[in-house]
Structure 1
């Protein structure tokens, strides 16, 4: 327990030191440029606190959080099982892999006009676009992770009387889960970037809309308040994935404990 506590303290001090460094760098840039377009950290933080409690920044944060979390959950629920199946079932993989390899490299953002045309300007189009992108990242990562599982491991379970469902449950899923969570962690940055792009036009809700609206009104302190909240959203999701890895991949942290 002592080692876990000290590890948590080191991690917290690392995050705290990184935040202080970024704030100092931001402050130096604001002093050097001396431009109203770049407010000081104090001004941006004050604007953030004011807008959270007196304006609608909290609502925009909730809308963006809802969109990106729901999209990620849908991507995981669809991409993880399909990736497991494609990685293990060679016949299914031979049928689906060419389709995946054709669609995966295409920048999914180019489909945004079509998505808006069919799904409208509401939450559905934003959620579908993020899901469309993250789904393929999880699918390909899971498939490749299953392919790396040694055949001897599967054969060992079969020799003990394990059926197909048990192979998925006790061999393929645990073996691929670390790679899946790594892919999910990397996907958070992509999801946040796509979220900002999708919310920056044809909508009146979300942090992307709030940031662009503040920029159009020449309110840099409010714009940076939106940027701060979007950064906190991304960091929070990143930390959640780290916690999931600690819970579901405990064997990777045995040496640390």
Structure 2
């Protein structure tokens, strides 16, 4: 059956695949026929994702992408790729007066620097086929909207979108498309990971969403699949909002 969103015979790297959007993206890509290389730093949770994947031609690699040496080792071990879905990320909610330099460095290392260095080594070591597609998971936070105590996390996600646009221009001649997805609030394991937001506050915030709910990981995964697929062959440099209408 004809399916322009098929990923059959495509080899795709998914980072941050141990949970949330990364896990769901890996699951959906496998359903559509992709051969996956999934990576994260927690072996037990990554194995749980691996066990959910349809098909046989998949690999899992444990790597902490906050360390450049591990990024380079991961890339060196990869086969040639048709796609890369970049989801590794951590959250942070901290008012400006409480910022600590080490917290800023930690968030940017994981959310921003890792995807920049991964892209560098994938290109330098010629691991991306022509054509191929890179999809970065950014956020609406501080890109299309702003909120109290979201400065560090939001700034790290703004940087992803800025880098994505440069990468789209630089890599177009190599046949590599670069795009991002920008989700609103999605229920994943990193939502309020420090426990500072109450259920009542979440319920009140959800009322701002015209579609009446927060997102689910699959809402974002389906968009990532589109951008990885040949259906998006003429799409590059685009930041795709997936936010239930909240930025309206």
- TM-score bracket relative to the smaller structure: under 0.3
Which of the two has higher C-alpha Rg? 1
More strand by percentage: 2
TM-score by length of 2: 0.26
TM-score by length of 1: 0.25
Structure with the larger RCO, 1 or 2 (CA within 8 Å, 6+ apart): 1
